[in-house]
Amino acid sequence: MSTPRQSPLGSALALAMALFPLAGLAQDAAAPRSVAPLPAELPDSGEPTPPSPVVADEAAGTPGLDADFGIGRPATAEEIAAIDIDATPDGQGLPDGRGSYAEGKALYDERCVACHGENLKGIPETGGPALIGGRDTLAGDKPLKTVESYLAHASTLYDYIHRAMPMDAPGSLTPDQVYAISAYILGRAGILDETAVLDRETLPQVRMPNAEGFTADPRPERL
Amino acid sequence: MPDLPFSSERYGPAERRMAQALVALENRILHPRPTEDCACRQGMFPGLSRRGMLLGGALLGGALVARPARAEAPPGAIEYPVQPDPTREQGRMILDDGGYGSRSQFENEIRWRYPTASLDSSWSMTPLASGQGIITPSGLHFERHHGGIPNIDPQRHALILHGMVDKPLRLTMDDLKRMPSASRITFIECSGNGLTEWEKPTLRTVQGTHGLTSTSEWTGVRLSTVLAEAGVQDGAAWILAEGADAAVMTRSIPIDKAMDDAILAYAQNGEALRPEQGYPLRLLLPGYEGNTQIKWLRRLEVGDKPFMTREETLKYTDLLPDGTARQFTLTMDAKSVITFPSGAMQLPRPGFYEITGLAWSGRGRIAEVEVSADGGKTWAKAALQEPVLDKCHTRFRLPWVWDGTETVLQSRCTDETGYRQPTLAELVQARGTRSVYHLNAIQSWRIAQNGEVSNVHA
């Protein structure tokens, strides 16, 4: 198979036209040509075609160079709600629902006990850490950092169980179940009593023993 | 020789060998052998593997000849027969690697997994001892996962940016790749790098003591570009970054960092991110502790306070002797380590050695590296290999003649802010030994009289 060639003159002209589109020549496609024809399309060489990142359904914008590229589209409220799962110390992000210590105990025994143990002291072989204990050990030689001894905010407990536990089925617990298991863990930690019920109102009010235990980074002024 | 699937006249000996190797490879994939604990995987260490390195050469040659027909190539390599004289026959055919290269079967460095009890939440370390220059091969970049490595179809992945912004955005990978891009070469270090070494020397090799740092060229969109597109509202101070892995990993990032040099990275060393590095999208925060540089990034929420996630409260906080803990110690301070000679190596005899290693700082460029060959009594300035980049591994070298007596090698670096890497004693004085994270002290390697190199506290 022979590859169509173009004359050197033709290619020089084509380049010139591309660089300086002369109004008369470039716009009037019907005008008879007085020079060699433009190159034919290249035959398929078998080269793989790269994917183009240009997509059809881009949002309209007023494209500038610093902002407002008109790329991407507004996120809808439903899209945000579907993954906006974080809960913060002020209670923002906590969902509706409620759960008690008793409900939490049953769930814990079913879903958590294998890795965190009956006494909530962890099962080292599974990597599941202790969840309670360790108060008054933080300044000692063998500090035990747990939800009970180290965590500053109950919202973190809710948030983490909801997003990442149980390790073998993350994201499988309902808000009611997470409230209940949180009530159970905080109850076993002696932070709540066994009648406590947790929901979006009560959970942010839980006072954690180590709430004041954290300081800001003093580096680089201090080592 | 087994019958080959290629009987055509067109195949010469090289092609036949290639075909044979492919058949062997396929067999290996179809009938995997249980992984063996093979001491030959250590690389660059006494009597092992790397050709030309110290005592290694002869042994490997011998091992090759003795290998069974279906010997296993190291990860990332394909086992081919060694030609008796490669100048007298054609080499193997172009593209027999399928179009994506493999490394030499004689190179066997691999990441090493720290033996955590959980396989899902674990880490692997870069073999720094065999590294050259400053770039870490993507396949050797250290890993830290809290919920395994997710497998994500980029066509179905999107980044959602919301919270205190005028215009919440949903950006696909195609969208992000169309925005103005930026590349930079920078290190990522896990703040747990060296956590075993606070009290006593524990791990033997530099891979174990320092292998949670790696350097790549990263490419993506500046986070400031994307934030400007969405319009950040007054009062915004922190951004929550969230991954799409089983840990749904989350960290809070100060907005100043986000506006300064943060990148939403989709590429590493010229190609798409490796899955274990966050494919298709990760947050890159030059100089920050690795855990904040959320992989498999799916969501950014702009807020006015830190979100207090588990990884910035229960973990990645630095417990001090008085029982309080430092929080949001995000920047990695200056640190250096000698990678040759380093732990578990063996110097065969007194004589010339080029001491070399890496220095880096999360606060800027490395200004100076000094090396001591007498346990810190005297220091000599090492040469810095170009390029010396901002927040990046920097290679240093110093020629040295070992006189055969026992000694201790150390390196210490100073960054452009004037901060000098502390001794372990200074660090322990300030923070005790229970803070787990952010150990950036001077590393000591003892050279014994017999040439053995070991990890010591000096």
Same domain? B309 vs B194: yes
Same domain? B221 vs B307: yes
What CA–CA distance (Å, rounded) separates B325 from A216? 9
Query: Could you tell me which residues come within 8 angstroms of residue B183 by beta carbon, excluding any fewer than 6 positions away?
Result: B217, B218, B219, B267
Q: Which positions of chain B have pLDDT values less than 50?
A: 1-8, 10, 32-44, 47-70
Same domain? B193 vs B162: yes
DSSP for B384-417 reads EPSP--TTS-EEEEEEEEE-SS-EEEEEEEEETT
- Environment class of residue B32 by beta-carbon count within 10 Å: exposed (0-12), middle (13-18) or buried (19+)? exposed
Q: Quick: pLDDT tens for A164-189.
A: 999 999 999 999 999 999 999 999 99
Q: Tell me the Ramachandran region of residue A48: left when phi exceeds 0, alpha when psi lies from -120 to 50, beta otherwise.
A: beta
Name the fold adopted by A105-205.
Answer: Cytochrome Bc1 Complex; Chain D, domain 2 (1.10.760)
Return the structure tokens found at B162: 């919301």
Q: What is the chain B residue with the closest CA to A68?
A: B229
Distances (CA, A) of A214 to B6, B310, B321, B438: 69, 14, 13, 16
Cα B136 to chain center, whole Å?
6
Q: Is residue B53 part of a domain?
A: yes
3-state secondary structure of B267: strand
CB atoms A150 and B313 under 8 Å: yes
- Residue among A156, A131, A135, A136 nearest A146 (CA): A131
Q: Is residue B150 part of a domain?
A: no
What CA–CA distance (Å, rounded) separates B375 from B458? 7
Distances (CA, A) of A70 to A67, B223, B277, B301: 8, 16, 29, 20
**Number of domains composing chain B:** 3
Tell me, yes or no, if A85 comes closer than 8 A to chain B by beta carbon.
yes
Q: Is residue B200 part of a domain?
A: yes
Q: Is residue B88 part of a domain?
A: yes
Q: What is the chain A residue with the closest CA to B427?
A: A223
Residues of chain B with C-beta less than 8 angstroms from the C-beta of A75 = 160-162, 168-170
Label residue A67 by pLDDT band (50, 70, 90): low
Residue A35 confidence (pLDDT): 76
- Residue among B332, B220, B236, B238 nearest B278 (CA): B220
CB atoms A54 and B178 under 8 Å: yes
Please give the average per-residue pLDDT across A71-91, as a whole number. Answer: 96
Sign of CA dihedral B173, B174, B180, B182: positive
Count Cβ atoms below 10 Å from residue B6 Cβ, excluding itself: 14
Q: How far is B446 from chain A (nearest CA, A)?
A: 26
For A126, list phi and psi in degrees, rounded to 5.
-95, -10
Give the β-pairing of B112-113 and B394-402: unpaired
Domain boundaries, chain A: 105-205
Q: How far is A70 from chain B (nearest CA, A)?
A: 8
- To test the contact with chain A by mutation, choose from B177, B221, B248, B311 the residue with the greatest count of A C-beta atoms within 10 A, namely B248
Q: Is residue B258 part of a domain?
A: yes
Residue A66 confidence (pLDDT): 64
Residue at token pair 């959320």: B294
What CA–CA distance (Å, rounded) separates B441 from B198? 9
Q: Is residue A25 over pLDDT 90? A: no
Residue B304 confidence (pLDDT): 98
Residue B72 confidence (pLDDT): 82
CB atoms B314 and A76 under 8 Å: no
> ω into residue A220 within 30 of 0, thus cis?
yes
- Residue among A187, A220, A197 nearest B334 (CA): A220
- Residue among B311, B326, B323 nearest A221 (CA): B326
Same domain? B248 vs B370: no
Taking each helix axis from N to C end, the angle separating A175-188 and A101-111, rounded to the nearest 10 degrees, works out to 100
Same domain? B253 vs B351: no
Q: Is residue B92 part of a domain?
A: yes
Same domain? B75 vs B113: yes
Say which of B147, B170, B324 has its CB closest to residue A164: B147
Q: Are B429 and B310 in contact (CB under 8 A)?
A: no
DSSP for A108-162 reads HHHHTHHHH-TTSS-BGGGTBPP-S--TT-TTSSS----HHHH---HHHHHHHHH
Q: Is residue B8 part of a domain?
A: no
Q: Are A104 and A183 in contact (CB under 8 A)?
A: yes
Residues of chain B with C-beta less than 8 angstroms from the C-beta of A76 = 170
Instruction: Tell me the CATH number at B380.
Output: 2.60.40.650
Same domain? B117 vs B174: no
Residues of chain B with C-beta less than 8 angstroms from the C-beta of A145 = 314, 319
**B403: amino acid identity, one letter:** D
Same domain? B262 vs B314: yes
Residue A47 confidence (pLDDT): 87
Residues of chain B with C-beta less than 8 angstroms from the C-beta of A53 = 174, 177-178
The ipTM (two decimal places) reads: 0.84
Label residue A44 by pLDDT band (50, 70, 90): confident
Q: Where are the beta strands (DSSP E) in B223-285?
A: 238-243, 250-254, 263-268, 271-272, 282-284
Q: What is the CA radius of gyration of chain A?
A: 33
Mean pLDDT of chain A: 86
Same domain? B168 vs B253: yes
Q: Is residue B341 part of a domain?
A: yes
- Domain span holding position B87: 13-136
Query: Could you tell me which residues come within 8 angstroms of residue B61 by beta carbon, excluding any fewer than 6 positions away?
Result: B51
- Environment class of residue A33 by beta-carbon count within 10 Å: exposed (0-12), middle (13-18) or buried (19+)? exposed
Residue A39 confidence (pLDDT): 74
Q: Are A101 and A196 in contact (CB under 8 A)?
A: yes
Residues of chain B with C-beta less than 8 angstroms from the C-beta of A73 = 169-170
Going by the DSSP 8-state scheme, the letter that residue A205 receives in this structure is G
Q: Quick: pLDDT tens for A84-126.
A: 999 999 999 999 999 999 999 999 999 999 999 999 999 999 9
Same domain? B111 vs B162: no
Residues of chain B with C-beta less than 8 angstroms from the C-beta of A84 = 162, 299, 301
Residue B64 confidence (pLDDT): 39
What CA–CA distance (Å, rounded) separates A18 from B269? 35
CB atoms B178 and A69 under 8 Å: yes
Find residue A193's DSSP bridge partners: none
pTM: 0.86
Return the structure tokens found at B290: 């690795």
Same domain? B197 vs B298: yes
> ω into residue B280 within 30 of 0, thus cis?
yes
3-state secondary structure of B260: helix
Label residue A2 by pLDDT band (50, 70, 90): very low
Q: Are B17 and B92 in contact (CB under 8 A)?
A: yes
Residue B361 confidence (pLDDT): 98
Q: Are B164 and B302 in contact (CB under 8 A)?
A: yes
CB atoms B170 and A72 under 8 Å: yes
Same domain? B128 vs B80: yes
